[in-house]
A and B are shown apart, each in its own frame.
Chain A
Amino acid sequence: MHPAPSIIAFTTFSGLGFGLLFWLGIDPTPPSGWVGFVFFLIAYLMAVGGLLSSALHLGHPERALKAFTQWRSSWLSREAVCAVATLTIIGVYAACLVLGGWHVAPLGWLGALLSLGTVFTTSMIYTQLKTVPRWNMPLTPALFLALSLAGGALLAGRVTTALVLLLLAGAVQVAWWCLGDRRLSQSGTDIGTATGLGSRGAVRAFEPPHTGSNYLMREMVFVVGRRHALKLRAIALILMLVVPVALLLLPFGHLLALVAVLSHVAGVLVSRWLFFAEAEHVVGLYYGAR
């Protein structure tokens, strides 16, 4: 799949933002006043910024409100509804904390639950696609949730929780890569079933429909990034897991924490780039590619 920068930014930053909102929501002693304001501001900038960046890749962003209507059948619509519900509920919760210093715990819990729901619905947009076997497995929502919770804990300054969750997210990530590599062949879809000619012999794409490229090939048959996939996986893991964990184990300092956060974000961005670049869409089979 084509790794569009807008979608990579959307899934990465909204994941981190909603992860932070989750931890702020369940915090028994949440930050209030100016400190609280800064925490909520960071979370909202990430969550809303991510959502806005996803609107950037739309052909008609001015019609985006229509995307709230089909929550009964569409995961994308559910994600939009969930995101707005979360931001509204947590907005009220944050306003109470920042302006009045009141801690309305049940509102925070509801917001935290909705935050997880938003990350889950985001992951389901990709997980539901049978056409991309690498995404179409239960471990995909687990990966999104694990990264969001770990990143959120890191941003919220919960050192011990972050350490445990970072290691857990790293394990899920490695498992996701290992299982994902086998998904296309396990799906049973190949050029033989795509053309229905597989029982007659070995099928080879002889001539493409057009001499030039097209939307399908640009969008779904992206193969450039796969050459360095293994190196990029190592880089992603070092940046999002090894560096933050090492820094968290050192005596706490705000500068070290900042470096840990930046390194983690960079690592998740690389991982998310691979999430798209490595994903094989079955339509590629019609073009003799994978």
Chain B
Amino acid sequence: MTDLPETTDRKMGLVIDLDTCVGCHACVISCKGWNTENYGAPLSDQEPYGADPSGTFLNRVHSYEVQPETGPAQLVHFPKSCLHCEDAPCVTVCPTGASYKRTEDGIVLVNESDCIGCGLCAWACPYGAREMDAAEGVMKKCTLCVDRIYNDNLPEEDRVPACVRTCPSGARHFGDLGDPDSAVSQLVAERGGMDLMPEQGTKPVNKYLPPRPRDRWTDQSVLAPFLEPVAEEPRGFLAWLDRALETL
């Protein structure tokens, strides 16, 4: 049954640091690379080299401009994948039981052999975390790299989601958000981690760390007085040239 579990033993998820993400899209590529050749159907592309390329991705990086009331605008790179919600609306709408949330770690998965490709779960997700694969006709979503994180055949440092492993700026963190003492929970508490669209009532497990405040244009540098222009008006030959050109 696609009822949601009352509680899960752990709440595995991601913490994404919007302050340090540089928008390089490496997580997008490593996610597609790992997930197209491992668990489930491959992530197909349609017309990848044609005029209108598109394809299935489990992780996409948006960029937003935030313009405060005063001061300069700030650019925020914004990776977005499944938030493995505690109250996942995508699971309960599923008519076949293909979508489920695991009791042991809270990961939301799709059993692809039960998926009829009706697309209702993608409609129910406010975050755009689910994409129907155009070649396979089944719903694809982030698995939190369930085939990496418990994989004893991988070296220990690789037993994290591909996006986390690859991020060059350390903007992605993986851990148990149900354990208040875990490193990710500490990070969320320290930095004021937030939910996306909390009013939708989905209770996302993944948290986003807001950008730290930036320097302001109004702040005066201590060196500013020494950097005043030395000559405001030209003198000598340049002054004559200036006057001569003016009268032409």
- Contact flag A215-B67 (CB < 8 Å), given A60-B115, A189-B199: no
* Inter-subunit contact B119/A219 (CB<8 Å): yes
A125 to chain B, nearest CB (A): 7
Contacts A196-B208, A201-B69; is A286 near B80 (CB within 8 Å)? yes
Q: Which residues of B contact A213 (CB under 8 A)?
A: 52, 54
Closest-by-CB residue of B relative to A64 is B116
Cβ of A191: which chain B residues have Cβ within 8 Å of it?
Answer: 64
Binding stretch for chain A, among B134-142, B176-184, B232-240: B134-142
Report the Cα distance A205→B201, complex, angstroms: 24
Report yes or no: A67 in contact with B65, Cβ–Cβ below 8 A.
no
A76 within 8 A of B: yes
Query: Of the candidates A59, A70, A210, which one forms a contact with B136 in the assembled complex, judged by CB atoms under 8 Å apart?
Result: A59
Asked whether B68 lies within 8 Å of A200 as measured between CB atoms, the reply is: yes
Among candidates A59, A66, A209, residue contacting B132 with C-beta atoms closer than 8 Å: A59
Determine the residue in chain A with the shortest Cβ distance to B210.
Answer: A196
- The answer to whether A120 has its CB under 8 Å from any CB of chain B is no
Q: How far is the CA of A281 from the CA of B95 in the complex (A)?
A: 21
Task: Point out the residues of chain B lying under 8 angstroms from A212, CB to CB.
Answer: 52-54
Instruction: Knowing A75-B93, A131-B125, A201-B67 are in contact, say whether A216-B131 is a contact too (CB < 8 A).
Output: yes
A154-206 contacts to B (CB < 8 Å): 187-189, 191, 193-197, 200-206
Contact: A60 with B138, CB < 8 Å? yes
Q: In the docked arrangement, what's the CA distance between A75 and B139, Å?
A: 19
Interface of B is mostly: loop
Q: Are A206 and B54 touching (Cβ within 8 A)?
A: no
**Contact (Cβ within 8 A) A66 B197:** no
Residues of B within 8 A of A206 (CB): 63-65, 75
Find out whether the CB atom of A195 lies under 8 angstroms from the CB atom of B125.
no
Residues of the A chain whose Cβ atoms lie less than 8 Å from the Cβ of B67? 201-202, 204
Task: State whether the Cβ of B227 lies closer than 8 Å to any Cβ in chain A.
Answer: no
Question: Would you call B97 and A131 a contact (CB within 8 A)?
Answer: no
With contacts A189-B200, A197-B210, A216-B131 taken as known, whether A73 is within 8 angstroms of B61 at the C-beta atoms is no
Q: Which of A67, A132, A209 has the most CB of B within 10 A?
A: A209
| Closest residue of A by beta carbon distance from B125 | A131
B60 on the A face (CB < 8 A): yes
Known contacts A131-B200, A215-B131; is-contact A200 B66 (Cβ 8 Å): yes
Would B96 and A66 count as touching, CB distance under 8 A? yes
Among B53, B93, B210, point to the contact of A74 (Cβ < 8 A): B93
B62 contacts which chain A residues (CB < 8 A)?
205, 207-209, 286-287
| A129 touching B124, Cβ below 8 Å | yes
Is A130 a contact of B89 with CB atoms below 8 Å? yes
In addition to A130-B200, A188-B199, A282-B126, 10 A-B residue pairs with Cβ atoms within 8 Å of each other are: A60-B137, A66-B97, A74-B94, A75-B93, A129-B89, A129-B93, A193-B196, A194-B126, A197-B18, A208-B62
In the complex, 28 of the A-B residue pairs with CB atoms within 8 angstroms, ordered by the A residue number, are: A58-B116, A59-B118, A59-B119, A59-B139, A73-B1, A80-B95, A128-B93, A129-B93, A129-B124, A130-B200, A130-B201, A131-B126, A131-B200, A189-B126, A195-B64, A195-B76, A197-B66, A197-B211, A200-B74, A201-B73, A205-B64, A206-B64, A206-B75, A209-B61, A212-B54, A215-B132, A283-B125, A286-B80
**B interface residues, Cβ below 8 angstroms from A:** 1-3, 18, 28, 52-57, 60-69, 73-76, 78, 80, 89, 91-98, 114-120, 122-128, 131-132, 134, 136-139, 194-201, 208, 210-211
Which positions in A face B, CB cutoff 8 Å? 1, 57-61, 63-64, 66-70, 72-77, 80, 125, 128-132, 187-189, 191, 193-197, 200-210, 212-216, 219-220, 281-283, 286-287
